Amino acid sequence: MARRTRDDLVERPGHELDTQPQESEVLQPKIGFLGLLRWMWRQLTSMRTALFLLLLLAIGAIPGSIWPQRNIDAGRVSDYLSQHTVVGPWLDRLGFFDVYSSPWFAAIYLLLFVSLVGCIIPRSRLHWKAMRAQPPKAPRRLERLSAHQERVVVGEPEQVVAAARAVLRRKRYRLRPADPVDPASADTVAAESGYLRETGNLVFHIALVVVIIAVALGHLLGWRGDVIVPEGQTFSNTVSSYDTIDPGPWVNPESLKPFSVRVQKLDVSFEDQAGGAQFGQPRGFTAHTLTRDEPGAPVKEQKLEVNGPLSLGGASVFLLGNGYAPVITVRDAKGRVVYSQATPFLPQDNNYRSVGAVKVPGGDPEQLGFFGFFLPTLEFDKEQGPISSFPDLDNPALVLGVYKGDLYPGGRPQSVYTLDTDEMTQVKGADGQPLRLLIKPGQTIKLPDGLGSITLDKVVRFAGISIRHDPGKMLALWGSLIALAGLIASLTIRRRRVFVRVRPAEPETAGAGPDGSAPPGPRTLVSIGGLAKGEDPRLADALDHVLDAIAERTGSTS
């Protein structure tokens, strides 16, 4: 029943408001290969296929929210694989850990993209024609349209027609010019409005194409890198300074702009009032930085905050993480410094129990490695041993095990935060148990076997910084805002056709003005019919308003 308006359109082939290409269900089997291609193209660009692909895209996106994704958190993927040895490899083969770069997901969105383009082109052509065409002639029987009303107004028929034309023009309808050849058409007005509905719809779909292109540009030409910068240190933007960098396929890694960022100080605060799960939650992070656009350029003092990135050399600098970097000094037996630097430890939980490693390749007589935890607020738990009970530096301590031997067996690449102990032996204490050091700031602990000593000088914070360059970003933003505008136009503007026909009123209805006391004079019966594309609950109201305006213009009402 809600479809009434559209069914009306279908009944009257000359009156289609749809610029949507007709979907012909008839296929001609004899056309051969080209015909088959044409048929496939038409299927692909049909509304039904678009709908099907949309639903497929929705369903296809879901697994990526259920299973961990490599590009987001590779660690969780390997955890999952080691825990699910049966289903894991199968899910992996099906691409469930790389959903958004898997071939099947790409197939869905590429088909949708093609369907979208294939849909936009013919619709734009049809709409272009419709925009320049005249509104069609009025149908013979206006009362058969989906909305129809009649009213008697004061005035000669010609005056009323003129009034109707004026009213409709004021309401921004396009009028069909009066036909000079056909005098019978002089009593009729045909008008149409709301072309912007289809324009909005096309703008929306075209803007979606723009957004998709922008995303692709960002993927191909963009890059992102992550780096950890302790307080007091400077990062300069070259490929080798990054801890990890992920350039797009079309990026030349040598072309990065040589800006630099020095982290002076990192201000961090944590919830220490509210109880429950909120206790210890982070409340504020701010990095005070000194930046340079290139070496030798003037230094700028800038604040880098969680929602406040810096903009440098066409890239954006974000503060995404933070943690502690204990400043550790290792001396050999003769008191010579063999290692001294701020060593970032990676936070593992909300209370910043952090893991890390100290690698001393210059250790004398042997290479030395330390591995363990940094705990900002040390506490001893009966079961778990030393833990951290609050994320801030209330009772900081390092808890380390000590290894000696070959730090880099076979020259294999390894993480800075763990030790590869394959070729190392654990140093034992006087009791024969593996040695475990507990070091507080300012303390120095002497190592056994003439290995020297280790000092925790102080603890600084580090900023986890992520730097991104995405050349498609602004295009994507503009595309999506224009899409939104087009969408609103296409959902709120009504495409309507209005037809008015007048004839001299019959004597017995002539006296019945709307308020019963119309001024004397000739009377005309106005018949108005309307037709809309899609849902249009206000069509009848709109006709009413047109009639009111005509009546007012002809002086039928006060």
Partner 1 sequence: MTNETLATYSNYGLYSAIVVFTLVMLMFAIDLAKAASWTAKVRTEDHERALVGAQVSGAAAQQEPETSESPETAETTTEVSRPRQFAGMGMSLSWLGTLLLIVTLALRGLSVDRPPLGNMYEFALVGTTFAMLVFLGLSLRRDVRWLGLFVTGPVLLTLGLALTVFYTQASQLLPSLHSFWLVIHVTVATLSVGLFTVAFSVTILQLIKSHREQHPPAKPTFVEAMPSAASLDRTAYGLHVIAFPLWTFTLIAGAIWAEQAWGHYWNWDPKEVWTFVIWIVYAAYLHARATTGWSDRKASFLALAGYACILVNYMVVNVYFVGQHSYSGM
Q: Which spans of this chain sit near ligand HEM (rule: CB under 6 A)?
A: 20, 45, 47, 50, 54, 112, 115-116, 119, 201, 205, 208, 490-491, 534
Q: Which is nearer to ligand HEM, 114 or 251 (CB)?
A: 114
Q: Which of 183, 275, 413, 507 binds partner 1 (CB under 8 A)?
A: 275
Measured CA to CA, the distance from residue 550 to residue 505 in angstroms comes to 15
Measured CA to CA, the distance from residue 350 to residue 388 in angstroms comes to 9
Q: Which is nearer to partner 1, 64 or 369 (CB)?
A: 64
Q: For 142-178, give one letter per residue: b (16+ CB within 10 A) or e.
A: beebbbbbebbbbbebebbbebbbebbeeeebbbbee
DSSP state of 239: G
Residue of this chain nearest to ligand HEM (CB atom): 119
From the list ligand HEM, partner 1, none, partner contacted by residue 115 (C-beta under 5 to 8 A by kind): ligand HEM
Q: Strand 147-154's sheet: what is its strand order? A: 147-154, 523-532, 496-504, 188-193, 174-175
Binding of partner 1 by 488 (CB under 8 A):
yes
Measured CA to CA, the distance from residue 435 to residue 428 in angstroms comes to 5
The residues in 14-53 that bind partner 1, with binding defined as CB under 8 A, are 20, 23, 47-48, 50-51
Closest CA to 248 of 210, 217, 213: 217
From the list ligand HEM, partner 1, none, partner contacted by residue 482 (C-beta under 5 to 8 A by kind): none
What is the pattern of x (binds partner 1, CB under 8 A) and - over residues 179-218? ------------------------------------x---
The residues in 286-345 that bind partner 1, with binding defined as CB under 8 A, are 305-309, 316, 318, 320
| Separation in Å, CA 44 to CA 111, 114, 122, 208, 333 | 8, 8, 13, 18, 77
Q: Which of 2, 34, 184, 430 binds partner 1 (CB under 8 A)?
A: 2
Q: Minimal distance in Å, beta carbon 308 to partner 1?
A: 7
Give the position of tokens 């002089």: 186
Measured CA to CA, the distance from residue 466 to residue 321 in angstroms comes to 9
Q: Minimal distance in Å, beta carbon 433 to partner 1?
A: 37
Q: Which of 66, 86, 181, 184 binds partner 1 (CB under 8 A)?
A: 66
At position 470, the amino acid (one-letter code) is D
Q: Minimal distance in Å, beta carbon 14 to ligand HEM?
A: 20
Q: Which is nearer to ligand HEM, 2 or 184 (CB)?
A: 2
Using the contact rule CB under 8 A, the part of the chain among 1-9, 83-91, 231-239, 355-363 near partner 1 is 1-9
From the list ligand HEM, partner 1, none, partner contacted by residue 451 (C-beta under 5 to 8 A by kind): none
Give the position of tokens 């065409």: 133
Q: Minimal distance in Å, beta carbon 18 to ligand HEM?
A: 7
Q: Minimal distance in Å, beta carbon 488 to ligand HEM?
A: 10
Question: How do 397-405 and 444-447 pair as beta strands?
Answer: unpaired
Q: Which of 28, 31, 35, 71 binds partner 1 (CB under 8 A)?
A: 71
From the list ligand HEM, partner 1, none, partner contacted by residue 281 (C-beta under 5 to 8 A by kind): partner 1
HSE of 420 in the Cβ direction (CA atoms, 13 Å)? Answer: 13
Helix and strand numbers (H, E) in the chain are 12, 24
Closest CA to 386 of 346, 426, 439, 337: 439
DSSP string, 70-120: HHHHHHHHHHHHHH-TTHHHHHHHTTTTSGGGSHHHHHHHHHHHHHHHHHH
| Separation in Å, CA 186 to CA 89, 158, 169, 170, 183 | 78, 8, 17, 20, 5
Closest CA to 250 of 223, 211, 213, 224: 223
Binding of partner 1 by 64 (CB under 8 A):
yes
Using the contact rule CB under 8 A, the part of the chain among 36-44, 273-281, 292-300, 362-370 near partner 1 is 273-281
Q: Which is nearer to ligand HEM, 282 or 534 (CB)?
A: 534
Q: Which two tokens stand for residue 86?
A: 């049966």
From the list partner 1, ligand HEM, none, partner contacted by residue 313 (C-beta under 5 to 8 A by kind): none
Binding of partner 1 by 246 (CB under 8 A):
no
Q: Which of 95, 247, 282, 513 binds partner 1 (CB under 8 A)?
A: 282
Q: Which is nearer to ligand HEM, 96 or 109 (CB)?
A: 109
Q: Minimal distance in Å, beta carbon 265 to ligand HEM?
A: 47
Q: Which of 466, 475, 514, 549 binds partner 1 (CB under 8 A)?
A: 466
The residues in 81-120 that bind partner 1, with binding defined as CB under 8 A, are 99-100
Measured CA to CA, the distance from residue 377 to residue 393 in angstroms comes to 6
DSSP string, 292-324: ESSTTSPPEEEEEETTB-EEETTEEEEEEEEEE
Q: Which is nearer to ligand HEM, 215 or 304 (CB)?
A: 215
Length of the chain counted residue by residue: 558
Measured CA to CA, the distance from residue 145 to residue 136 in angstroms comes to 14
From the list partner 1, ligand HEM, none, partner contacted by residue 51 (C-beta under 5 to 8 A by kind): partner 1
Q: Minimal distance in Å, beta carbon 72 to ligand HEM?
A: 24
Q: Which of 163, 483, 526, 543 binds partner 1 (CB under 8 A)?
A: 483
DSSP state of 234: E
At position 29, the amino acid (one-letter code) is P
User: Residue numbers of the site for partner 1 (CB under 8 A)?
Assistant: 1-3, 20, 23, 47-48, 50-51, 54-55, 57-58, 61-62, 64-66, 68-69, 71-73, 76, 99-100, 215, 224, 271, 273-278, 281-285, 305-309, 316, 318, 320, 466, 468, 470, 473, 476-477, 480-481, 483-484, 487-488, 491-492, 534-535, 537
